[in-house]
Amino acid sequence: QRLRKTLVIVDEEQQKILDMYDLTAEQAQKSVWYGGEGGKAKRQISDRILTAISKRSGQFHMAFTGMSVCAGHGSYFNESYPIVVESTLQKVFDAANVRFGVRNACMGGTYTYPYSWCMSNIVGADVDVVAWDFGMMEAGRSHFTEGWLQQALKIESKPAILFMAGYANQLLDDSSGGAISSQDIPALDQYRRGVATHYARVTGAPVHAFWAAPTLRERYTQVKIPDSERGKGGWDNFIELRSKSGGRATPEALTNLRWYSRKGLPGQASWHPAPKEHQVFGKLLSFNYMDMLKSAIEKEIERLSASPVPPPLNLEKLLQSQVVDFPDSRVCKDTKELFCHTAFHCSTSYEPRQGRGLIDLIKNENYKKVLAPADNTAIEEVKRYGTGYLDRKYAYKGSRANGPLSFRLHHVKAGSVIVCEPTYGWRKPRNVIDLASEVEFFIDTHKVKLVESDARSMKGIAKNCVVVTYNCPQGGHDLVMEPTVDGKDLYVSFVLWN
């Protein structure tokens, strides 16, 4: 009886979304691409939800990774599309007796590396869906996506993969029409399409992608508003959607799309979505997840109605067919083994995160946890305006006067250690130590050298990182860094090891 009532609640919540944007269910469904094989990914995600329903008080977690777009910059944090997804789906999952949550782990001005190496540490080892929205930061470097994908698929919970096209200038594109396909999605260019399709086939993982345009362009055309008609809060690329059906007004939820809740909030820029753009992303994605929830509920009702009642679907059994060793990967050709296939232990001082931090490893208390230089002004603005952004690029800072910086690494095997600074924005400050030339590295008391070949690769992939190799007994060891110059500061935000 409870599950049947839940179906009614889900139908009601879906209808609210359709009414909000004056859409049909078929139109709303076109915003998500589930890959080939007849929507196999959709069935897999629905079955995953089913295991949470069958558990009685199970849980279902989504995590979003990416750049400032999904971090909500330019709007308030609670207006970001991941939080819209959480607030929209909370009610229907609660009705199904499933604990639902969203982790917005997006980080402004962050590249795919070293972030991707720390995927499990940042989003948690128990996520059911992990989303990618690095499109702008990966411009011209689509192959970075494969490194992200490999690390995401290595998460212990074997999550579903979601590609998001979240930045504002991709809201609507009238250049093409028809049903959504991977070719329609900016997040999936030709290279990424090959990667996504290949990994879905090889690993058995559900891979899907979201873009609002295929839904909206069936009903609306996009126009730019002249200066004389603009209200407060608009930007130079201020846009409006107009109904293609003569005489039908544009719904309130789609008017003044480029208006912000408050003019002057940190991060307002042409590529950052305004609140109503975040809302349409979050609502349309939620609509499609409600479809999968309904399918799961219907399967559970059918199971409970059978006689005798069969055992519930088991999550571990469901995931047995997914593999994580990628034996026949055909890509990764643009990145070395180190960047694509290697699994690392990771510790970072970036926040938010779910796993351990550098604070758990650091041995020298003279080095203090501080914001990265490029973040100081931004965080002051966050406090002043009360935007609520969660992303913080913390680092451990010290100098030669503070002595060596030491971290205790656990479960070490012979291999590589990667040490990374925080990102510094457009330009690295002159008073910051260069990891590659102004620091000596030791494993315990044994001096180790940088790996030159990996150093060259790092410059094009993770330019704020260096790699050292070592050969030592398996177990716990100290990573020691000794600054060799005076008058400069050492910043460390990531430590990764085999």
pLDDT at residue number 453: 55
Q: Residue 138 pLDDT > 90, yes or no?
A: no
Angle at CA 187, nearest 5°, toward 183 and 191? 65
Dmax over CA atoms of the chain, in Å, equals 78
Q: What is the pLDDT of residue 421?
A: 93
Q: What does R_g of the chain's alpha carbons equal in angstroms?
A: 24
CA distance 436 to 444: 19
Please determine, for residue 430, whether its predicted confidence score (pLDDT) is greater than 80: yes
pLDDT tens-place string over residues 194-232: 778 878 888 889 999 898 888 888 888 877 666 665 554
What's the mean per-residue pLDDT of the chain? Answer: 84
Q: Which of 139, 137, 43, 117 is nearest to 346 (CA)?
A: 117
At 119, the amino acid letter reads M
Strands (E) across 310-438 are located at: 345-348, 368-371, 394-398, 405-412, 415-420
**335: confidence class by pLDDT, cuts 50, 70, 90:** very low
Q: Is the pLDDT of residue 144 over 80?
A: no
b/e per residue, 198-207, with b = 16+ CB within 10 A? bbbebbebbb
Mean pLDDT along residues 418-423 = 92
DSSP per position, 8-71: HHHHHHHHHHHHHHT--HHHHHTTEE--STTTHHHHHHHHHHHHHHHTSS-EEEEEEEESHHHH
What average pLDDT does this structure show over 433-449? 91
Helix, coil or strand: residue 184: helix
Q: Let me know if 19 is exposed, middle or buried by CB neighbors in 10 A (0-12, 13-18, 19+).
A: exposed
- pLDDT value of position 150: 83
Percent of the chain past pLDDT 70, that is, above it, reads 84
Query: Within 253-362, where are the H helices?
Result: 275-305, 315-319, 337-340
| Cβ–Cβ under 8 Å, residues 136 and 167 | yes
Which tops the pLDDT comparison, 165 or 19? 19
- What are the phi and psi torsion angles at 209 (to 5°)? -145, 150
- Could you give the count of Cα atoms lying within 13 Å of 228 in the half-sphere of its Cβ? 0
Closest by Cα among 221, 247, 201 to 37: 201
**Predicted confidence band of residue 334 (pLDDT cuts 50, 70, 90):** very low
Cis peptide before 275 (omega within 30 of 0): no
Grade residue 459 by pLDDT with cuts at 50, 70 and 90.
low
Which of 232, 233, 237 has the alpha carbon at shortest distance from 222?
237
